[in-house]
Amino acid sequence: MNLSENEFLQRLSVLACHNDPINPDLYEKYDVKRGLRNANGTGVCVGLTQIGDVVGYKLEQGKKVAIPGKLLYRGYSVEDMIADVKKNNQFGYSQCVYLLLFGQLPNQQQLAEFHEFLSSIRDLPPNFTEDMIMKAPSSDIMNKLARGVLASYSYDPDPENRDVANVLRQCLELIARFSSIVAYAYQAKRRYYDGQSMYIHNPDHSLSTAENFLRLIRSDKQFTPEEAHLLDIALIVHAEHGGGNNSSLTVHVVSSADTDTYSAVAAAVGSLKGRRHGGANIRVVEMMDDIKEHVHDWSDEAKLRDYLYQIAKRNAFDRSGLIYGQGHAIYTVSDPRATLLRDEASKLAKLKGFEDEYNLYRTIERIAPEVLYSIHGTDKLICSNVDFYSGFVYTMLNIPRALFTPLFAISRIAGWSAHRMEELVAGGRIYRPAYQSVCEERKYIPIKERT
């Protein structure tokens, strides 16, 4: 072969691209639910769940009517949970995990015992950090997290046991250890890819998940109560989002094949890494960087509107036509997660001197729907989603961008675990959707007759 490896791969990629495109008209002809969505934008119902519910509209005579968004965990409002946590000056993520897994709110004694148990299993297995993280560092922490989850199989004395009690043990260990795996993977990245110092601290068993994470990623282990409580709220609002989001559906699909816990959770991590899912908050921050670079006067709404128009017309930023952080598949009037983070962000912005940037976010949140309407003319209501503010919150907390999506995973492992348990208990059938073949049958050509 006279071609270089790169040239050969380029030739093969041309063949692959030429071979796979499908006429868009065929999707309508065969009534294909692309993206598992119905024609009216609602999701195709493929299962039942008691874990979480995402409410953004109601149906009246077959038509969607927009209403303020609600996020429910086991039937309880997340907004009420956070309000109660704040009133009592508590860290609420452990309570959130308890509710998602066991379907009921713990009393003070139950919560104290559960927190103590999670703390007791937070440490990684002996030599895990050295052998599974430091000896094979990764430039992307989500990939390292997925590998860490799969590696946990080798440290489990009973990895293939599908009994509910054993799967619960596995899930609780992953919930407790995700923050440590992510923090150590970040430290390895700093050392081997960024040329910076690496700090490996042991978890403090008296601290919450949010406190421990801030302790593990910082060289001096220091953080303020305001920082830890805000991160705790972020963990609560990201912990679950119904069974229809891509990563939770992945847990159901993979678990339905009767595989082990680590394979199912690692698959979910791979889903969450995607820029259309958990990676969206990084795109928001990158877009905001681009806006600040091109519009120097953040109070000039006319210039901001014009630049957003250029982004939406594919003439600026990444030329995708997307104003990141705007719009959601279900929420219409408002995304309760975005509202909660926005309100908390305003307080931290005042403490940390980010008020001008916060006001910029608020302005874009207000005018972006108008810009999108002027271009697309759709009457669909558009609101800011959780990704619009989560990256800004993490930035104010001095959390590196490489950790934005892994933080999502640290939180969402609670929801994934609940869905894993639900599929084992109430599922019973392997997911097997249909794909319509649109390739005509062809007569086989023997190799000696091919040109």
Positions annotated as catalytic residues are 328, 387
**Helices 141-152 + 164-192 axis angle, to 10:** 140
Rounded to whole angstroms, how far apart are CA atoms 449 and 321? 48
DSSP 47-106: ---SSEEEEEEEEETTEEEEEEEEEEETTEEHHHHHHHHHHTT---HHHHHHHHHHSS--
SS3 28: helix
User: Looking at the chain, how many residues does it have?
Assistant: 451
And the tokens for 23? 């006429």
Both tokens of 242, joined, read 């119904």
From first CA to last CA, the distance across the chain in angstroms is 18
Query: Is the dihedral angle over the CA atoms 76, 77, 78, 79 positive or is it negative?
Result: negative
Helix (H, G, I), strand (E, B) or coil at 205: coil
Strands 76-77 and 52-60: unpaired
Q: Would you state the structure tokens that stand for residue 76, as one six-digit string? A: 């309880």
